[in-house]
Amino acid sequence: MTEKPLVTIYTDGGCEPNPGAGGWAAILLTTRADGSPHERELSGGAPDTTNNRMELTAAIEALRALSKPCHVLLHTDSEYVKKGITEWLKGWIAKNWQTSSKTPVKNKDLWQTLHAETQRHEIDWRWVKGHAGNEYNERVDRLAAEQIKKF
């Protein structure tokens, strides 16, 4: 049985203003069969969205880009994404997509898509402090900001 490849992912999303024009980005870091490092950048945006929708989209698109099941170390500076997927999602599903205060879950469509994308991977969700000098977090922040400028 072969071990799943390891992929390290950094994601970010944002809007200016919020809501408004948005951008998202991801960097996927892997090691090729010959041992050499490989980086892949992904980014996109939307003309009328929110920060949270862009943060979720970044994670979704990064996982979609993986062609086979992987062990993923996914870094996000969004506590909304990290807590949503690791703490809140199970309860939302059990309560038919209602929050603990019995209101509909915001961004349900993206949460459902993200949940579906996670099913084929083993994912270690990691929160990283934004704008704190982490090389890859700073890069995805810049890439997302470039996408916002297109709108």
CB atoms within 10 A of CB 27: 22
Among positive and negative, which fits the CA dihedral 147, 60, 128, 84?
positive
Q: What are the tens digits of pLDDT across the range 6-45? A: 999 999 999 999 999 999 999 999 998 898 999 999 999 9
Residue 79 located in a structural domain: yes
| Total of domains in the chain | 1
Residue 83 located in a structural domain: yes
- The residues assigned a catalytic role are 12-13, 55, 77, 131, 141
HSE of 24, CA atoms in CB hemisphere, 13 A:
23
Q: What are the tens digits of pLDDT across the range 40-97? A: 999 999 999 999 999 999 999 999 999 999 999 999 999 999 999 999 999 999 999 9
Q: List the domain range (segments joined by +) for residue 32.
A: 6-149
Residue 1 located in a structural domain: no
CATH number at residue 24: 3.30.420.10
8 Å CB contact between 33 and 65? no
8 Å CB contact between 9 and 74? yes
Cis peptide before 17 (omega within 30 of 0): yes
